[in-house]
Amino acid sequence: MIAIVDYGMGNLASVSKAFHFLGERVRITSDPKTLCRADAVVVPGVGAFGEAMAELKKRRLIQPILGSIWDGKPFLGLCLGLQMLFSSSEESPGVRGLNVIPGRVRRLQAARGLKIPHMGWNQIERFPPGQNGDRRLLHGVPDGAFMYFVHSFFGDPEDKRMVAATTRYGCRFPSVVSDGKRLWATQFHPEKSQRFGLQILKNFLKQVRA
């Protein structure tokens, strides 16, 4: 069973529908015991870093999420679900993240002609084979594929080898990260990214079933 974590701030319906479209049964839950029993965990999210971490703590979801990752269960973070994996965020000074990925969530800087938040379609640039990052999530996704973004911050890992793909918007920021084991996260929304977004979810399901 794949558990989609409900902490009151995620785009749960669209994520669930995308998995259902691919023929996979999922369960939306805020129950810690259900998370512990799940075979894989998906953490979506839209909103502010500090509020999201407060909701996870309030609902007693932090330890079940960390336990799933430590146990090596497949994990997928989406947008804010990626950012919460980091140690801290410029959006919420003093708030500790899950600290699964050492590093800091940084604010996108407005550049000439670009608006913040970064909203809409943009390309991802994959690293070549043998270079940075775990590419299993990107199998069948071409370099330069367009994905759908809505964000003002991005995760900046200390270990750049965790970056599997980047995107340019004023600066070049990580848009896919992985621990090289069974944890992946995207700054974009694959559930809203049509063909290639669905391919990413298919690739995640393949790892769940492996």
**Exactly one of 24, 55, 91, 191 is catalytic; which is it?**
191
Say whether 79 is catalytic.
Answer: yes
**Exactly one of 24, 79, 91, 118 is catalytic; which is it?**
79
Say whether 139 is catalytic.
Answer: no
Say whether 189 is catalytic.
Answer: yes
Whole-angstrom distance, CA of residue 193 vs CA of residue 141: 12
Contact 100, 72 (CB under 8 A): no
**Exactly one of 55, 91, 151, 189 is catalytic; which is it?**
189
Whole-angstrom distance, CA of residue 204 vs CA of residue 194: 16
91: phi > 0 → left, psi -120 to 50 → alpha, else beta; which? alpha
Helix axes 62-70, 49-58, angle to 10 degrees: 90
Which amino acids are annotated catalytic? 79, 189, 191
